[in-house]
Amino acid sequence: MKRTMTRRVAIAVSSVAMTLGWPALAHHGWGYYDTATPLYFSGRVVTVTWRNPHPQVTIEVEANTLPRNWNTLPIPPELAELDFAKTLAAVRASAPPGRWTLDLAPINRLERWGMPREPRPGDRLQAIGFPSCNDRHVARPALIVLDGVGVRQQSVALPAGCSGTPRG
């Protein structure tokens, strides 16, 4: 009897743990973003939420045109190895004006990948990123540029986007 009860409790606890774990797993995918439509972002930082699993930076995009030198951003070698040139070549437009929330890579990765510092309100930030499939003015960058330093945000080849995987 006691053995059966222990087994049932173990199964129940495992089931709950697995159910609660799914959102965390889904959070890390690119499937929620339109990876076929990269955009150029340029704007001033409005707010910063610097915490894991993914920090967020909200920027105010003012112009809706690509500047003359938009494609001369500093590209880290590791991002170049992930065929980022193809992503860069696919950029056709600047993000529409307004406030955009950028979902960044986890803080420990940002530090490893050369993030010069935590962004602050008022900083100018540039990025190449992908708009959310469902949330207006939310995007996930593959590259951000802060203080003239290009920091990759992508560590894997990009899958087809808009799979419906939740943002987390």
Domain-wise residue ranges, the chain: 39-152
In this prediction, residue 7 carries a pLDDT of: 53
Average pLDDT for 121-143: 95
Intra-chain end-to-end CA distance of the chain, in Å: 41
In this prediction, residue 29 carries a pLDDT of: 62
Identify whether the C-beta of residue 39 lies closer than 8 Å to the C-beta of residue 66.
Answer: no
Identify whether the C-beta of residue 134 lies closer than 8 Å to the C-beta of residue 32.
Answer: yes
Per-residue pLDDT reduced to its tens digit, 22-69? 333 334 467 789 999 999 999 999 999 999 999 999 999 997 788 888
Q: Which two tokens stand for residue 40?
A: 């150029």
131 contact partners, CB below 8 Å, separation of at least 6: 33, 34, 37, 39, 95, 138, 139
Q: Which helix (H) or strand (E) holds 27?
A: helix 2-27
Look up the pTM and report it: 0.79
Instruction: Name the fold adopted by 39-152.
Output: OB fold (Dihydrolipoamide Acetyltransferase, E2P) (2.40.50)
pLDDT band of 21, cuts 50, 70, 90: very low
In this structure, the chain runs to a length of 168
Whole-angstrom Cα distance, residue 42 to residue 130? 13
Per-residue pLDDT reduced to its tens digit, 92-130? 999 999 999 999 999 999 999 999 999 999 999 999 999
Reference 160, options 38, 36, 29; nearest CA is 36
